[in-house]
Amino acid sequence: MNFIEALKLRSKLLFIFIIIAVGLFFIGIMGAINLNSMKKNLDSLYFGSLVPVIELNTILQTYHGNLASTIYKAKNMQITPYGVKSQIKLSINTIDKEWKNYEAHFRRDGESIYVEYTAAEIKATNQYFLGILKALEDGYDAKDLVIDNVEKKITHIHEVINKLINYEVDVAKYERKTFLNVYDSILVKVGSILGMVIFSVMVISYYVFKSIQIDQTTLEITTKKLKIANKKLESASYTDTLTGLHNRRYFNLIYDREIKRAKRNHSYITFMMLDIDYFKQYNDTYGHIKGDVALKSVAKIFKDILKRPSDFVFRLGGEEFGILLTETAESNSATMAGNICDAVRAHEIKHEGSKVNQFLTVSIGVACCVADEALNEELLITRADEMLYRAKESGRDRFSITTDISIATSHKVDEARLN
């Protein structure tokens, strides 16, 4: 009897398989007929508009962020002559490359005139900066550069390229509208066939699966195992595999959550940026395996000191760590930073390549404030990074702390040296 029932079940499953296969065959035919048309629309929408806009924006960013910034820094003696020349050459090469990629895309009738005009303007602007480069190579003093002329050049090329970007965006809107019209037509055709197939499958499936009994207990056990596995996987995705600390992905999640909570409660929020002093030299001296051991040791020190549930320690990358403290006032934050510096030094991890101590040390930048709606989340991190830089500039193996998280450039900074 069981053998006969098994045969019936196989027959039903075979029948439903045939129905699905036939349905998919017809859907495949419809898809093949309209595939080329859909591909052209997708190519035109994506490759015809999105990629060119990205390339043009890259050119603009290079002009503004690299070339103009380099000239400004050169005039203010904030960059070496070699650095100026290197940055100008690199920027010009980047612009030429991105423009060649842009010109290689498909062009519609009537587009070539303005593209050629833009190419000429880009070439002229690049020649201007190459002229500056040649002048610098010939001994021209960077302090004598006229920033107004540079700004005029950048402004002009910005206007020229921006018109091209606006045109590409308008084309994208038009292509999208055209594509949606074609898509709606295809959707109706495919939907009709698909609806018929789905209806047939549903009717037959009702009779097929009505005869199949599910082992509920096995399903529940499998579900529980899957949930446990998912939790383990989720935990692994938020953990740095080397140190066991939270990783940057988890930092992005927790940082946003705790900032919002602190704003609601108008409570203290502290962020510390930590960096192992001369860690590159440590790796060069002892090797990367020893370097990994040192990272694990430092991570364990952090865990031993920061035990509150509201204290979060992250490995942000390489030898850089981050610590987020909630409801911790400035004085307590400073004490905590000092304890961390002391604990790392007291662990006596030998470091012959260090210029500040015979043992491994850390530098810490601390930003602490009472959160309110005006708090700039990015600026909190920036201030901590500035304080880290200041601690390093002051000799390392110490921390620097600030409570000024405003946009103003002038701010008070409290510094402490730990011996």
What does the pLDDT read at residue 181?
77
What does the pLDDT read at residue 68?
80
Question: Which three-class secondary structure string do you get for the chain?
Answer: CHHHHHHHHHHHHHHHHHHHHHHHHHHHHHHHHHHHHHHHHHHHHHHHHHHHHHHHHHHHHHHHHHHHHHHHHHHCCCCCHHHHHHHHHHHHHHHHHHHHHHHCCCCCCCCHHHHHHHHHHHHHHHHHHHHHHHHHHCCCCHHHCCHHHHHHHHHHHHHHHHHHHHHHHHHHHHHHHHHHHHHHHHHHHHHHHHHHHHHHHHHHHHHHHHCCCCCHHHHHHHHHHHHHHHHHHHHHHCECCCCCCECHHHHHHHHHHHHHHHHHHCCEEEEEEEEECCHHHHHHHHCHHHHHHHHHHHHHHHHHHCCCCCEEEEEEECCEEEEEEECCCHHHHHHHHHHHHHHHHHCCCECCCCCCCCECCEEEEEEEEECCCCCCHHHHHHHHHHHHHHHHHCCCCEEEEECCCCCCCCCCEEEEECC
Enumerate the domain spans of the chain: 2-195, 248-417
Average pLDDT of the residues in 268-272: 95
Average pLDDT of the residues in 351-368: 94
The CATH number of 248-417 is 3.30.70.270
Percent of the chain past pLDDT 90, that is, above it, reads: 34
Among 7-16, 94-103, 204-213, name the most confident range.
94-103
Q: Which of 98, 175, 319, 386 is catalytic?
A: 319
> Nearest to residue 63, comparing CAs of 124, 139, 113, 140?
124
Residue 205's pLDDT band, with cuts at 50, 70 and 90, is low
Q: Which residue has the higher pLDDT, 183 or 66?
A: 66
Average pLDDT of the residues in 145-163: 83
Percent of the chain past pLDDT 70, that is, above it, reads: 74
Contact between 397 and 416 (Cβ < 8 Å): no
Residue 361 has pLDDT above 90, yes or no: yes
Angle 409-412-415 from CA coordinates, rounded to 5°: 125
Residue 381 has pLDDT above 90, yes or no: yes
Residue 229's pLDDT band, with cuts at 50, 70 and 90, is low
In this structure, the strands spanning 398-402 and 362-370 are parallel
What does the pLDDT read at residue 375?
86
Q: Which residue has the higher pLDDT, 102 or 410?
A: 102
Of 37-51, 160-174, 399-413, the one with minimum mean pLDDT is 37-51
Q: How many CB atoms lie within 10 A of CB 55?
A: 21
Angle 145-151-156 from CA coordinates, rounded to 5°: 135
Question: Which three-class secondary structure string do you get for 18-36?
Answer: HHHHHHHHHHHHHHHHHHH
Residue 417's pLDDT band, with cuts at 50, 70 and 90, is very low
Average pLDDT of the residues in 102-113: 72
Q: Are both 2-195 and 248-417 of the same fold?
A: no
Residue 219 has pLDDT above 60, yes or no: no
What does the pLDDT read at residue 177?
77
What does the pLDDT read at residue 370?
92
Catalytic-residue membership of 327: no
**Is domain 2-195 classified as CATH 1.10.8?**
no
Mean pLDDT of the chain: 80
Residue 175 has pLDDT above 60, yes or no: yes
65: which 2 tokens?
A: 């962020």
Residue 408 has pLDDT above 80, yes or no: no
